[in-house]
Chains A and B, each alone.
Chain A
Amino acid sequence: MLMEAILQALRETFPAETIEARAVPIGETFVALPPDCLHPAAQVLVERFDLRHLSTITGQDTGSAIELLYHFWDGGGLTLRTSLPREEPHIATLTDLIPGAAFYEREVCEMLGVTFDGHPDPRALLLPDDWDKEQLPMRMTNDQSIDHPTKRLPDQETHRPND
């Protein structure tokens, strides 16, 4: 079983960590790791198992920490989960192993403010040029003003008939 072999290899690489696999629907295996173990774990996956398909990197703000989920696929789904502190979160980039991670890391960087050390091109991917870099849309805050339907930009005129 591939998943068993991968877990065994991760346990050998990180003898100090408890590697536990959790089954998550639909057919996914979740493994939690500390942030500095993520690049070596990805190296094990790429070099030993030729597992190079990274579906995406999910970033989420759980309130107490920023969680990153790296979703891999090789016949079955494997997700590596890691937690970063909310102030100044940073983690090593995976683009040296998997160049396809570049876009996903750029998106997590602009949405949550995570710095990926060593990323070759850390520009914003989706947010507009005039977006305030301090404002991170996917962070949980009490400020709901960016969601308001009638928000206006400072220099915006409107041609709406009744305004």
Chain B
Amino acid sequence: MTTRPSDYLTKRLTDQMTRITIPIGPQHPALKEPLSFLLTVEGERIVESVLRLGYVHRGIERICQNRNYVQNVHVVERVCGICSHIHTTVYCQGVEALLGLQVPPRALYLRTLLCELERIHSHMLWLGVLAENVGFTTIFMYAWRDREIVLDIMEELSGGRVAHAVNVIGGVRVDVDEPQVDSILMRLDELEQRIETLLGVIQHERTFQVRTRGVGHLSAEQVRRYCVVGPTARASGVDVDMRRDAPYAAYDRLDFRVITAEEGDVWARTMVRVPETIESLHMCQQLLTGLPDGPTTVRARRRVPPGEVVSRAEAPRGELIYYIRSDGSDRPARVKIRTPTLPALSTLPDQLRGVHTADVPAVLAGVDLCIACADR
């Protein structure tokens, strides 16, 4: 059988033309942080993608070795601006375990309160970023406007909207009194109504669902293979949550649900994170109404006896793990940080395969990237 010349020419042309490489470079409107992708597309569908990290790599682990334990609380807080409090929580927890300190219950409650407030602010930030990436700018504006309530509460408690510096080795450096607790509870009630409204809008808005359903799919098997953690794992049906599995701070005294979903796409991640925000609100209410009396800090020695510790917690994006080794001086010998975004990044080539180019911002936002966390 002979092929006609026009068939042959068409096949040659489409073979040569179909694969193009598109860089999603360090500067891109869909990316809030520098990250480099090289996407190989065939027509409109992505065939392969290559990731380049390292634009935000500041060498924090080595910086920590050159500073003493107290200075490291400030260094570690600046690994990431969105989840700064959980980094200091995990670090201080680890050093307190090395020192053998018993942190007072009031300090643990206040630490947990800030952890949950930070989870609320991080998830609302994420919701706004996802909505903006799929074109729903109204939800971006509404979510970030309502997020200001949480930032105001955090500023009242600690003095900073984003970097709180609440944790010290031995406890917390802030305290609340009765009128403050009442005022915060009132504002949290208002915030709960607003988040319920946002959830209602998302669940009824068909365009948002069309842009997020079926996009960026991860099966439970892929989640376990790549050791993904956090809401991304819970959205694929893998039930892991450090707050329940390894309670730290005041979590063993709280009553909360762990939210999971089954579909494993960006829509499922939305349906995990937004109800999780409401769950965190209820936890904040429990913490504020059940605040025990007592001191907020114990005195900590500067020199830490030799030893090692592995400290874990549930950051807004998943399991955060620190390994700290001390050699008896006032500087740590090794601080190893693994943030939850790093395993999620290793799934991105799988998630992007077969996706339309127009859905790339939705996939990137669905994973809740924090490249500053991943690069350290």
Contacts and interface: CB of A to CB of B under 8 A. Distances in A.
Interface of A: 24-28, 52-56, 58, 60, 69, 71, 73, 75-77, 79, 98-104, 124-128, 137-138, 147
A128 B252 CA distance: 43
A54 B227 contact: yes
Contacts of B375: 126
Nearest to B94: A26
Nearest to A59: B336
B176 interface: no
A52 B227 contact: yes
Given A60-B325, A71-B323, A99 B225 contact: yes
A26 B93 contact: yes
Contacts of A25: 94, 97-98, 307, 309-311
Interface string B243-282: 0011010000000000000000000000000000000000
Closest 4 CB pairs of A and B: A100-B227, A56-B338, A25-B97, A100-B226
A53 B233 CA distance: 12
A80 to B, nearest CB: 12
A136 B99 CA distance: 31
Interface string B67-105: 000000000000000000000000001100110000000
B310 A26 contact: yes
Contacts, number: 95
B23 interface: no
Contacts of A73: 312, 319
Given A26-B93, A52-B227, A126-B53, 10 more contacts: A24-B309, A26-B97, A26-B246, A52-B224, A60-B333, A100-B226, A100-B346, A103-B342, A125-B54, A126-B376
Contact of A103 (B66, B93, B325, B343): B343
A148 to B, nearest CB: 11
Contact of B310 (A79, A98, A124): A79
7 contacts: A26-B93, A26-B312, A27-B246, A53-B227, A100-B226, A100-B228, A126-B57
Contacts of B312: 26, 55, 73, 77
Nearest to A75: B245
B145 interface: no
Contacts of B319: 55, 73
Interface string B38-66: 00000000000000011001010110001
B303 interface: no
Contacts of A24: 307-310
